[in-house]
Chains A and B, each alone.
Chain A
Amino acid sequence: MDKIFRVNMTDLTTKIEAVPAAWAGLGGRALTSTIVAAEVPPTCHALSAQNLLCFAPGLLTGTAAANSGRLSAGAKSPLTGGIKESNAGGTAAQMLAKLGIKALIIEGAPKSGTWYNLSVGINGVTINEEKELLGVGNFAVIDAVEKRLGKKTGVLTIGIAGELKMTAANISVKDPDSKIRSHGRGGLGAVMGSKQIKFISIDGEGAKPVTIADPEKFKTAARAFSKALLDHPVSGEGLPTYGTNVLVNILNEAGGLPTRNFTTGQFEGHDKISGETMHDTIAARGGKVKHGCHAGCIIQCSQVYNDKDGKYVTSGFEYETIWGLGADCCIDNLDDIAKADNLMDDIGIDSIETAVMFGVAMEAGILNWGDSKEMLRLLTEEIGKGTALGRILGGGAGSVGRTYGVTRVPVVKNQGIPAYDPRSVKGIGITYATSTMGADHTSGYTIATNILNVGGYVDPLKKDGQVELSRNLQIATAAVDSTGMCIFVAFPALDIPECLPALIDMINARFGIALTGDDVTNLGKHVLKLERKFNQEAGLTNVHDRLPDFFKNEPVAPHNAVWDFTDAEIDEFWNF
């Protein structure tokens, strides 16, 4: 039977609890958001003892289902002031699921200045004092934990940014190569830092395969599901070949590639940072063009990027990071962007928030446009050392905008707007405005239908159909985020009719239940409404479901598009 592992950092106790009946059918985001909504006072300070941090594998995590090994982390976000779920790959999710841990909940905060690590194993959690690894970067933490506890140990860790409670701090998850994937957005690393936990180790000893109620049915469904993933041109060929960075050239052609802190929609240096160039560079230097963030990923959008001498620089090198430090900061040097990606992993800071922040910092005059060397110095010497300036930068785009009096600050609910200009790709603007997470492209990825012709086509430059598109995708995403699936399964799910039923069949076969497509949609709706209610009680209302004014007032080239939705049109989103 699955259990809830609960840790109280105030009195330094741990316990194992039975799963409450109401949580039994939940996993991933549905579970973390339910826990946060049930146990966190919405108005609390996100870095206080009243907040909690929880982790939950998805409903299918630990099974043989392809791409099902994602871990959800949840808390009240110190960045947005609202609820947060952030999911990531790595090895932790499958280990937790196979240990029968439905959720790990960490509540309270130490009364003294002592720091700790947690060891999670089949018999429960122990809280240990930690001295040696304080102030140490994430890669060295993973190394040290492997030396202490063995190569196979799972690790969740925070870098200096999390220790210093910077609101852009993330939580790093060890991947199968002992490198890093991240619970990136929303400052969850600061929440872990506020509980004075440097890292969490997971011992897989005694882990068992998860039980499947109907193994035959599961096998058939899992096969159909994998086939759909491999048959679809995006998940079967595009993502493994070019990674997500293939989008640089597409968004540039579409005029939706935010450039120079969102002042124009095309970047002169696009070719140098494009997915095509990156693919050729990786291949020429003996890196890996495709790579999975967890065992069982058959799409493999990740990659290993080497330097000129064939030495590892970074992996999981995503479009949003490359766009942000590239086009948005006018940097056309992919090697320097790769170095920054690695530094951000080591410091433990969200690469999207930080990239958007640098665009604002350049506008503020903290560094010059395109100055990648100074960008690297600011990461290492200021953020990485926790200087006063570093802490301002580590607070994200909103923090820098407020401190330096910049008015063009691309954030919603104080979270940086990623990679797609909402004036020229209007569906994603609705997602940015309404998402319970703050500006988050993954929560309702309308780019699929606005730009990529996946799931039909809705003209990105017109208002028609965008609210409905974003709503449907946000509902579906909330459900998918609860299964432990990587969101890229949405590409085949939108186009191949057998894909979604196979996913639902796997859930049914795993638990011996009979969910229908409607049940899954209702789960998605329920999750969104629960998160929205938490946000409203935390003081984030429809007034916060808005894009910054400059999107309305400054037309963006080449289409001279403006953000032209009325407040009432945006609020229609919640009409379900």
Chain B
Amino acid sequence: MLITLKLFATFRNGRFKVAEQELPEGTDVRAVVLSLGLTEEEIGIVMLNGRHGELDSKLSDHDTLSLFPLVGGG
């Protein structure tokens, strides 16, 4: 399956802003996180198609996955 992966803030350093990724069916968010060399603890916000997701969330074809470190403002 093909997903769009978007990275934000410090996650972009040495990586990318956005990329298409071809992944095996049934891949979850955690596997993507680890494949980027990130740890679970570093993940602040997971967004899957504009809604909050979990590390356990399973990805489907054409999903957009966005990963943010813990950041905030106001």
Report A's interface with B, CB cutoff 8 A.
Answer: 233-234, 237-239, 241-247, 249-250, 253-255, 271, 275-276, 301, 318-319, 441-442, 445, 447-448, 451-454, 457, 459-461, 487-488, 491, 558-559
Contacts and interface: CB of A to CB of B under 8 A. Distances in A.
B47 to A, nearest CB: 5
Given A238-B69, A250-B45, A461-B51, A445 B74 contact: yes
Contacts of B68: 249-250
Interface in B22-48: 44-45, 47
B52 A233 contact: no
A457 B53 CA distance: 11
7 contacts: A233-B44, A243-B73, A244-B73, A254-B51, A445-B74, A447-B72, A448-B72
Contacts of B74: 244, 247, 319, 441-442, 445, 447-448, 487-488
A559 B47 CA distance: 14
Nearest to A451: B45
B6 interface: yes
B8 A238 contact: no
A452 B52 contact: no
Contacts of A275: 9, 73
A246 B6 CA distance: 15
Nearest to A234: B72
Given A237-B69, A247-B73, 14 more contacts: A234-B71, A244-B74, A249-B8, A250-B45, A250-B68, A250-B71, A253-B6, A254-B51, A275-B9, A276-B12, A452-B44, A452-B70, A454-B70, A454-B72
B10 to A, nearest CB: 7
A68 B52 CA distance: 34
B51 A238 contact: no
B9 A238 contact: yes
Contacts of B52: 453, 457, 459-460
Contacts of A454: 70, 72
Contacts of A254: 47, 50-51
A318 B74 CA distance: 8
A61 to B, nearest CB: 20
A22 B38 CA distance: 54
B9 to A, nearest CB: 6
A233 B71 contact: yes
Contacts of A237: 10, 69, 71
B50 A253 contact: yes
Interface in B52-74: 52, 66, 68-74
Contact of B45 (A271, A318, A445, A453): A453
Contacts of B12: 276
Nearest to B45: A453
Nearest to B8: A249
Given A276-B8, A276-B12, A242 B47 contact: no
A487 B74 CA distance: 9
B50 A242 contact: no
Contacts of B51: 254, 461, 559
B66 A242 contact: no
A459 B17 CA distance: 26
